[in-house]
Amino acid sequence: MSKKIVIAIDGPAGSGKSTAAKNLAERLGLVYVDTGAMYRAITYAAIRKGIADDEKAVIELAKSIKIRLKFVDGLTRVFVNGEEVTEKIRTSEVNEKVSGISKIPEVRAELVKIQRKLGEEGNLIAEGRDTTTVVFPDADLKIFLTASIDERARRRYKEFVEKGVQISLEEVKANLEKRDKMDSEREVSPLKKADDAIVFDNTHTSIADEIEILLKKINAAAK
């Protein structure tokens, strides 16, 4: 690909944003920016400090924390102040708190700054709530991924089972519904489709087929 492109992928929890972004980044040799991992990293650090419910303290933390993402062999490794937290940011405790923390405007402002800085280099695929609407409104291609709530819950449940986490499908679905609601209704950067984003419902599409379809769209956008 000759042009230095920026691709942004948005959509609700469990819609397969990370899977799509990782695959496309690998296929096209792009830098993959998992913005959700950044919000998770702050949330994890706040929980560990015992300040997750103290907005002022969380804002201070966001201003001082050093978050680094390293994309190696299809895996995004996440570091907070030099400590690897890749696994620790994927717990149900972090899932519970992350929507609350990600709606704090000052926290978002700090993270958006970092994300845009990464975008200046181009050849990047950013994934997460608001990447198409706020972070990269001028992206070359904006993709809004979605799937039915039952399918999204099933995917998340499978991930938990694979990790040996004890949780029921009903709990996972309830948590997703709660997060969808919070993420869509919040005042700052709510989950919403950008007007010029292409919508892809992958409820009944295999990952392989989805990637082939998206690659065609990216190639067309990069011309």
Please tell me the chain's helix, strand, coil percentages from 3-state DSSP, rounded to the nearest 5: 55, 15, 30
Do the Cβ atoms of 34 and 86 come closer than 8 Å?
no
- Residue 156 interacting with ligand DC (CB under 6 A): no
- The three-class DSSP label of residue 128 is coil
- Residue 130 interacting with ligand DC (CB under 6 A): yes
What is the Cα–Cα distance from 23 to 139, expressed in whole angstroms? 19
What is the Cα–Cα distance from 127 to 107, expressed in whole angstroms? 17
Q: Give the alpha-carbon dihedral of 139, 131, 32, 69, to 10 degrees.
A: 140
- Residue 210 interacting with ligand DC (CB under 6 A): no
Of 25, 36, 141, 194, the one binding ligand DC by CB under 6 A: 36
CB of 39 to ligand DC, least distance (A): 4
- Residue 110 interacting with ligand DC (CB under 6 A): no
Q: How many residues bind ligand DC (CB under 6 A)?
A: 14
Give the interface segment with ligand DC, choosing from 129-137, 144-152, 164-172, 203-211 (CB under 6 A): 129-137
Do the Cβ atoms of 114 and 38 come closer than 8 Å?
yes
Of 25, 61, 128, 175, the one binding ligand DC by CB under 6 A: 128
- Give the CB-nearest residue to ligand DC: 36
Strand partners, 146: 201
What is the Cα–Cα distance from 157 to 171, expressed in whole angstroms? 9
DSSP string, 22-62: HHHHHHHT-EEEEHHHHHHHHHHHHHHHT-TT-HHHHHHHH
Of 40, 88, 97, 142, the one binding ligand DC by CB under 6 A: 40
Of 20, 104, 124, 131, the one binding ligand DC by CB under 6 A: 131
Give the interface segment with ligand DC, choosing from 58-66, 72-80, 124-132, 199-207 (CB under 6 A): 124-132
CB of 219 to ligand DC, least distance (A): 25
- Residue 146 interacting with ligand DC (CB under 6 A): no
CB of 165 to ligand DC, least distance (A): 15
CB of 220 to ligand DC, least distance (A): 25
For the stretch 176-198, what's the b/e string if a residue is b when 16 or more beta carbons lie within 10 angstroms of its beta carbon?
Answer: beebbebbeebeebebebbeebe
- Residue 200 interacting with ligand DC (CB under 6 A): no
What are the tokens at 193?
């489709």
- Residue 136 interacting with ligand DC (CB under 6 A): no
Binding residues (CB under 6 A) for ligand DC: these are 13, 35-36, 39-40, 98-99, 102, 128-131, 179, 183
